[in-house]
Structure 1
Amino acid sequence: MEKIKTLIVDDERFSREELIFLLEPYENIEVIGQAKSGEEAVMETLKLQPDVLFLDVEMPKMDGMAVAKAVQELKKVPEIVFATAYPDFAVEAFRQQAVDYLLKPFDEEQSGETIERIQKKLHPYERKPDYTPSKFAVEVDGTIEYIDPGKIIYVYREGRVTKIVGREKVYETKDALKDVEQRLRGFSFFRIHKSYLVNLDYIYRLSPWFNGAYQLELKSTDEKLSVSRNYVRDLRNKLEL
């Protein structure tokens, strides 16, 4: 995720700190500096090249509107979010093509909407990362146990039961092997046989067996697994540089 470099401009230290606190939870926002006057804001914008200015309007000497006009002349023009206690400046703010207009005292919900507008303006095509569940759920004696997929060595189908062999214990589920395989997508599991899935992180030796099949030796267990000849080439392609 590309960071949005942000400069906070306000002549009141408390207001600057409040804004920084509100922006802190947003991983895509990086506060790269502060300025306590309009003149300092222009100099810091020139030096730091921020993507966004959070800009107070009412400041002595050079006010926020004058700063907004001044930075329009720079090579890299930042987006502007006006942050002020005075609603009367809203019309002029949008004449300056501001992304948003935040009123003091700042509100969490309003600031969240502002961040969303900034994100859409600067990175309109950036996708939010999909959330991948990190635990594999198995029902055990009427309760749900959550297994770290990294601790599963292999999975196999025996009769009407799918067995999940972990480093510490073996779990059973009535889910079909193909359903378990689907749930473990995104982790390092590979089918080595119509009835077996193996965690690639536990493989340390592949030995020829007979009729083109191979035997697989795994860490954390003495059991050797048979690799069907139909899967050998794909397995080697997956494992080898």
Structure 2
Amino acid sequence: MSEKITALIVDDERFSREELSFLLEGFESIQVIGEADSGESAVMKTIQLQPDVLFLDVEMPKMNGLEVAKAVRELKKVPRIIFATAYPDFAVDAFRHEALDYLLKPYEEEQVAEAVHRLMKYFDHSKQTIVSAPSPSKLAIEGEDEIIYLEPEDIYYVFRDDRITKIVGEKREYETKLPLKDVEQRLAGYSFFRIHKSYLVNLDYVDRLIPWFNGAYQLQVKGKHEQLSVSRNYVKTLRKRLEL
């Protein structure tokens, strides 16, 4: 991989930090960007430096490694964890905290090399799975002699009528031969929700839900007189999306 994996070493013993830092210097793929001598310091430096991985000692006073691992899981950028411990029976606890690996003290070069190799494989795989084509910013509707580009935010709802998909805006209705499923995929990432096999609604324009019968509801869109049917299979999830 071209970019280096940034690492923060956390251990309350200076000798252990220096030893691990020395061993990691032998790997071009790893860049140690900081050290922390306590759990509290580890959390603060993780917020400041945003490392890719923490080499995290378990046995520390006040805030131990397990508590640090739990705390950093709440951050926007969650680092991977490689625990360090003197106890060989720690594996179960380590992986319960979603650790990528754990190292036994005193450190052995071969064991550190295996952990780094596993770390490299993880980040290579993550980059391959995350890379995707950028999403378009407008929905293209092809007419007979023109292509109209619609802002997703201006669409109130979409529905399937026979073999035509109709897109309803504030003042105008558009038609496309695209299946409703294809339109739904193109609008993924915006505030759209399927309320029925034939209807897709922009949640930003939902005004009210009206109980109907057999657990179904009718949905009122702002500025529109017609009411849309909400299948009972979608009601629970719809309410979760709409309500605080």
Using the size of structure 1 for normalisation, the TM-score is 0.51
Q: Which has the larger radius of gyration?
A: 1
Give the whole-Å Cα distance in 2 for the aligned partners of 1:124 and 1:112.
18
Give the whole-Å Cα distance in 2 for the aligned partners of 1:108 and 1:27.
15
For residue 89 of structure 1, report the CA deviation from its aligned partner.
2.4
1:99 corresponds to = 100
Instruction: Classify 1:125/1:65 alpha carbon distance in 2 versus 1 (closer, same or farther; 3 Å).
Output: closer
Give the whole-Å Cα distance in 2 for the aligned partners of 1:125 and 1:13.
33
Instruction: Classify 1:18/1:42 alpha carbon distance in 2 versus 1 (closer, same or farther; 3 Å).
Output: same
1:117 corresponds to = 118
1:66 corresponds to = 67
Give the gaps of 5 or more residues in structure 2.
129-244
1:18 corresponds to = 19
Give the whole-Å Cα distance in 2 for the aligned partners of 1:93 and 1:73.
18
1:53 corresponds to = 54
- Count of residue pairs the alignment pairs up: 127
Give the whole-Å Cα distance in 1 for the aligned partners of 2:122 and 2:38.
26
Amino acid at match of 1:12: E
Give the gaps of 5 or more residues in structure 1.
128-241
CA distances 1:99-126 after superposition (whole Å, capped 9, x unpaired): 1010001011111010000001112388
Mapping of 1:1-241 within 5 angstroms?
1-124=2-125
CA distances 1:170-224 after superposition (whole Å, capped 9, x unpaired): xxxxxxxxxxxxxxxxxxxxxxxxxxxxxxxxxxxxxxxxxxxxxxxxxxxxxxx
Amino acid at match of 2:35: Q
Report the secondary structure of 1:123's partner residue: helix
Instruction: Classify 1:39/1:125 alpha carbon distance in 2 versus 1 (closer, same or farther; 3 Å).
Output: closer
Amino acid at match of 1:73: E
Give the whole-Å Cα distance in 2 for the aligned partners of 1:110 and 1:126.
25
Give the whole-Å Cα distance in 1 for the aligned partners of 2:126 and 2:68.
30
Over aligned residue pairs, what C-alpha RMSD do you find? 1.5
Using the size of structure 2 for normalisation, the TM-score is 0.51
